[in-house]
Structure formats: C-alpha cells, structure tokens
Amino acid sequence: MVKTRLLLGILVIAMMLSIASCGHGKEPSSEDLTQTAPGTFTSFAAFEQSEKQAGDTALSHYFVPAMLSDDYKLARITKREDVYVMVEYTVEPGAVSAEKLGEYELERLSTLICRYSLYDDADQALEAGFIDKGYGAVEYQGNVYYRWDEYVNNDPEGLLLGYEIAFVTDGCLIYMHLPAIDTFENMMRYTKLQKIEIK
C-alpha cells in the first residue's frame, strides 16, 4: 500500500515537471515581445539616437506639446513597435491632499500624456478606439476633439482626475491625458502639438 502511494506520488511529480518544462520552453514570438518589452527612454536625445539605429522600424518623427510651461518635467518616452510612441510629463498636482487619494489617482493628477499611435488609418482607429467607446465631440479653436472625463471611481460626483482627449492631426491619431489641475479650456492649450523630425 505504501509502495503504491509512493509510486503514484512520483508519477504525479514527474508529470508536473514535464508540463512545466513544456511551458517554459515556448519561445516568445515577435508579437509577444512587442507587447511586453517596449523601449523606454528618459531623454529625447536617447530616444532619437535609438530611432536612428532602428533600421526598418525607425520613425521619421514624433509629437510633443508645443507650449508646455516649466512646471512640466519629462518623465519618460515609451515606444511599442508598430503601436505607439508615448511621451509622459510630470507636474505638481496642486492643492489636492495626497492623504485622500491612492497612488493611481495621484499619478493621474500629476501626469500629462501625449501618445502618437502608429496606425495606418488614423480616422478608423479614432472611431473604433474612442468615438465608439463614448468619447464626445467638442470644438476648440476651430478644431474637433473627442473628450472623456476621468473621475475617481468613475463617479461624476467625485474628484475629476483628468481630461482624456483624442484627435487626428497631420494624418496621425493622438491621445492625450491632461491632468485636471486647471479648467478644461485652459488645459486644452497643451493639445497644440509640435512635430519633431528625427534627423
């Protein structure tokens, strides 16, 4: 009886080890690497230097807000091949009490995001990724943008964390998170973008 149980236990352990080794032996595809290992940079110089050496996947340009004040500091540039280039800035969240907010909420109130999507059809991506998901059209200085407001716990009665903005410029889809540290109208000035050529 004891010998039978011992043999059964050894058999189960051998099967588990065999299954585990099969799982670990899978080589990640290029798609897996694209989704899990983006390139992250802490300076524009490092990002541009990397692009100059990227060969066929190199970008010719990217976008940044044209009129950022000195309060905004570059946090990181992230590139996911064939998906997007995202530039993130940090800023002081103002008079909001940190004691009443979680880490995520504080991050949203202190981060400005400018993400340039690398899709071939920007208009279709705008419709599928934002308009169809409930972003509403707003006009600002003669241009149409699509807006969704982010609140703590998705409660419109709660604290406003940011203005989510999507639009197409120069044939490119842009998504921006504008932290709600000022009125919508005042924060919209950051949607004026500068196209940076990588030479």
Q: What is the pLDDT of residues 24-60, one digit of tens each?
A: 333 333 333 333 346 999 999 999 999 999 888 889 9
Question: What pLDDT shows up at residue 97?
Answer: 56
Q: Is the confidence at residue 172, as pLDDT, over 80?
A: yes
The answer to whether the beta carbons of residues 55 and 178 sit under 8 Å apart is no
Q: Residue 182 and residue 199: Cα distance in Å, rounded?
A: 36
Contacts of 62 (CB under 8 A, 6+ apart): 47, 85, 87, 116, 195, 196, 198
| pLDDT recorded at residue 13 | 37
Convert the pLDDT of each residue in 173-191 to its tens digit. Answer: 999 999 999 999 999 999 9
Please give the span between the terminal C-alpha atoms of the chain, in angstroms, as a whole number.
76
Cβ contacts of 6 within 8 Å, gap of 6 or more: none
pLDDT, one tens digit per residue, over 93-132 is 776 655 578 899 999 999 999 999 999 999 999 999 999 9
Alpha-carbon distance values, 21 to 10, 26, 33 (Å): 17, 9, 21
Note the pTM of the prediction, 2 decimals.
0.78
